[in-house]
Amino acid sequence: MVKGYVGNETFEKALDLFEKIDIELDNVIYTIAFNCCAKLCNDRAMKIGKKLLAEMPENYRNDNVASTSAINMLMKFGDVESAERIFRSIKVKDIITYGAMAKGYVGNEMFEKALDLFEQIHLSLTNVIYTIVFNACAKLCNDRAMKIGKKLLAKMPENYRNNNITSTSAIDMLMKFGDVESAEGVFRSIKAKGADIYGALMNGYNLNGESWKCFKIFEEMKEKNIIPDEIAWNILIG
pLDDT digit string, tens, across residues 7-40: 656 778 778 877 777 778 889 889 999 999 999 9
d(CA 221, CA 231): 14
- pTM recorded for the entire structure: 0.91
Give pLDDT tens digits for 75-133: 999 999 999 999 999 999 999 999 999 999 999 999 999 999 999 999 999 999 999 99
Quick one: which of 88, 103, 180 has its CA closest to 134?
Answer: 103
Question: What mean pLDDT comes out for the span 230-238?
Answer: 74
